[in-house]
């Protein structure tokens, strides 16, 4: 601090000699030598003063003391749950102290990145406030400077601009008011429906729940998609990857899953990362038409937004979802997609001059997604019993699952739904590759009824694929092989499902039970799906009590199964 030659005091009234003497003693004790104090009148400062010593600012006016109180209460809120009595005790005994404002200077700015000098005490992830109101986040702490990403237009920032620390890490407003709204990654509404009143403010990058705070994943989160719920079930608190090439139906699957949560008391958060605004508008319109937007929050960082917003978007969406999870609610969050998220982080890292690794990604790109997806959990009863289920989406190139980002996310998640471009082009929708898809939670996330009805479906499809590949090289086939191939074709037709038409648990169980009959032998493969659905509708009308038990209790007895099969035999196809 040798360069400091004088201190400047701002106040509305001229200080007394006693006041100047106390301030002089404070500065001598703080900096180890006497520093002359000049005074300048400022009508904007009420109830105190503002002392500027070089780059240090000691704020002792009404606004400064109010900010100290807010920071104190913010810290208490993060540490304690019995916050109300604690706030009362704090207000009773609280005494403001002189507070230092560190102010730095922009040295370089460009491509959404600014380097700042003079902020030696800045912490990683802290929000910095630039002159003109531009916000940034410290992402690279160096010996003599700090590099940060900018969330607003960089045109307002130039070399020499002043930068102020806020003392807080990046966060977003959260609350019930965000349901049914479309917001940007900073929590600002972008749907033209007015402001949102927040209930709380959460850090975007928080720690994942500890192992002791979790409980097993054993409650199903039904997607309404027969192929998934029967063979690759998803449980509440699970992380299931949706992976496939471009235009293979990934967004359709996650959208249908959100639609299927209607009436099931599940909050949904859809995070769009790097998608076209028109695509997001179509998804929002679909959710609105089907009555799903009321329980859904859409966080949109479009392709036109800068990389810093794409980078922070999934963490912001996760913070919004965790608010409900910690209140004991069940939440579904979709990250669509994390490939573009990784690309945005790669761009930021290269601009920050970090060492590139495989495919030019930085060395911490695995941690980028692991610290996000690990926040999905089924909390213990002591923590409220809420759950956060994550459905990350990854886009592959030419179905190459061995690329860097796909292998990283596959190793983090509890299974994957692989969508095949070949099946999609053949008209199989959803184009799920049964051989490459897996759920590591398995039957634990299925109701007893679905588990019992599914039987050997996955094995039957595997045998069909094997027989089909061999049949291409053989002109003559025995009747057993022909029957098996015809049965497999019928199953594939049954698994076809139109977008925005999720199936209830009862419909799925009836479809799976009917699939075990010989109905496929009398139905053309191309018509099997539609024909079976007609049979399902007719049989369910005759077995309404069974439908109620499946939907309400999730059970299917042997007698129920026999009644369904008997009703099927009476149907004319």
Catalytic residues: 440
Taking the CA atoms of the chain, what radius of gyration do you get in angstroms? 30
Distance CA 142, CA 107 (A): 13
* DSSP notation for 210-234: PGGGB----SB---S-HHHHHHS--
Q: Is 251 in contact with 393 (CB distance < 8 Å)?
A: yes
Distance CA 472, CA 453 (A): 31
Q: Is 217 in contact with 445 (CB distance < 8 Å)?
A: yes
Q: Is 360 in contact with 208 (CB distance < 8 Å)?
A: no
Sign of CA dihedral 240, 244, 247, 248: negative
Q: Which of 569, 487, 481 is nearest to 528 (CA)?
A: 487
- Own/partner long-range contacts of 405-410 (Cβ < 8 Å, ≥24 apart): 405/338, 405/339, 405/342, 405/361, 405/365, 406/243, 408/365, 408/366, 408/369, 409/241, 409/243, 409/338, 409/369, 409/373, 410/241, 410/243
Q: Which of 489, 501, 487 is nearest to 526 (CA)?
A: 489
387-396/135-141 β-pairing: unpaired
CA geometry: angle 466, 468, 472, nearest 5 deg: 120
The secondary structure of residue 13, as a DSSP letter, is S
Q: Is 240 in contact with 304 (CB distance < 8 Å)?
A: no
- DSSP count for the chain of H helices, then E strands: 18, 21
Upstream peptide bond of 337 is cis (omega within 30 degrees of 0): yes
Residues 6+ apart with CB under 8 A from 428: 420, 492, 495, 496
Residue burial 264-286, b: 16+ Cβ < 10 Å; e: rest: eebbbbbbbbbbeeeebeebbeb
Q: Is 458 exposed, middle or buried, given 0-12, 13-18 or 19+ CB atoms closer than 10 A? A: middle
């Amino acid at each position: 601090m040798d360069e400091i030659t004088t201190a400047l005091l701002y106040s509305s009234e001229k200080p007394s000699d006693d006041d100047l003497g106390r301030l002089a003693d404070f500065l001598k004790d703080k900096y180890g030598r006497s520093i002359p104090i000049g005074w300048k009148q400022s009508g904007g400062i009420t109830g105190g003063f503002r002392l500027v010593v070089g780059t240090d600012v000691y704020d002792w006016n009404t606004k400064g003391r109010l900010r100290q109180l807010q920071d104190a209460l913010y810290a208490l809120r993060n540490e304690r749950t019995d916050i109300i009595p604690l706030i009362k005790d704090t207000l009773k005994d609280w005494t403001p102290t002189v507070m230092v404002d560190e102010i730095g200077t922009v040295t370089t700015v460009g491509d959404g990145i600014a380097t700042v000098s003079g902020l030696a005490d800045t912490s990683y992830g802290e929000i910095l406030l630039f002159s003109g109101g531009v916000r940034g986040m410290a992402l690279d702490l160096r010996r003599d400077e700090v590099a940060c990403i900018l969330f607003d237009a960089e045109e307002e920032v130039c070399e020499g601009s002043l930068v102020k620390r806020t003392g807080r890490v990046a966060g977003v407003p959260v609350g019930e008011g965000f349901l049914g709204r479309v917001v940007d990654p900073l929590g600002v509404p972008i749907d033209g429906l007015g402001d949102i009143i927040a209930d709380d403010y959460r850090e975007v990058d928080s720690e994942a729940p500890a192992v002791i705070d979790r409980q097993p994943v054993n409650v199903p989160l039904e997607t309404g998609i027969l192929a998934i719920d029967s063979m690759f079930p998803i449980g509440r608190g699970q992380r299931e990857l949706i992976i496939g090439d471009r235009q293979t139906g990934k967004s359709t699957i996650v959208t249908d899953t959100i639609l299927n949560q209607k009436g099931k008391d599940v909050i949904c958060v859809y995070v769009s990362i790097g998608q076209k605004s028109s695509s997001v508008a179509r998804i929002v319109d679909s959710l609105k038409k089907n009555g799903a937007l009321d329980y859904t929050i859409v966080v949109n960082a479009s392709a036109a937004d800068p990389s810093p917003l794409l980078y922070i978007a999934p963490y912001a969406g996760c913070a919004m979802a965790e608010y409900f999870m910690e209140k004991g609610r069940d939440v579904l969050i979709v990250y669509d997609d994390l490939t573009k998220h990784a690309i945005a982080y790669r761009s930021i890292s290269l601009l920050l001059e970090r060492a590139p690794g495989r495919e030019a990604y930085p060395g911490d790109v695995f941690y980028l997604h692991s610290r996000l997806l690990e926040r999905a959990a089924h909390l213990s009863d002591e923590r409220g019993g809420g759950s956060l289920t994550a459905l990350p989406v990854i886009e592959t190139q030419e179905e190459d699952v061995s690329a860097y980002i796909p292998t990283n996310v596959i190793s983090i998640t509890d299974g994957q739904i692989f969508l095949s471009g070949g099946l999609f082009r053949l008209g199989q929708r959803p184009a799920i590759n049964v051989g490459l898809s897996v759920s590591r939670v398995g039957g634990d996330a299925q109701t007893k009824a679905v588990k019992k009805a599914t039987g050997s479906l996955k094995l039957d499809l595997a045998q069909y694929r094997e027989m089909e590949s061999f049949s291409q090289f053989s002109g003559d086939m025995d009747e057993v092989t022909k029957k098996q191939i015809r049965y497999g074709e019928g199953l594939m037709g049954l698994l076809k499902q139109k977008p925005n038409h999720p199936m209830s648990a009862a419909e799925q169980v009836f479809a799976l039970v009917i699939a075990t009959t010989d109905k496929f032998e009398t139905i053309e493969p191309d018509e099997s799906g539609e024909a079976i659905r007609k049979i399902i509708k007719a049989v369910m009308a005759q077995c309404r009590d069974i439908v109620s038990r499946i939907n309400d209790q999730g059970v299917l007895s042997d007698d129920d199964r026999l009644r369904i099969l008997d009703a099927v035999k009476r149907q004319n196809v």
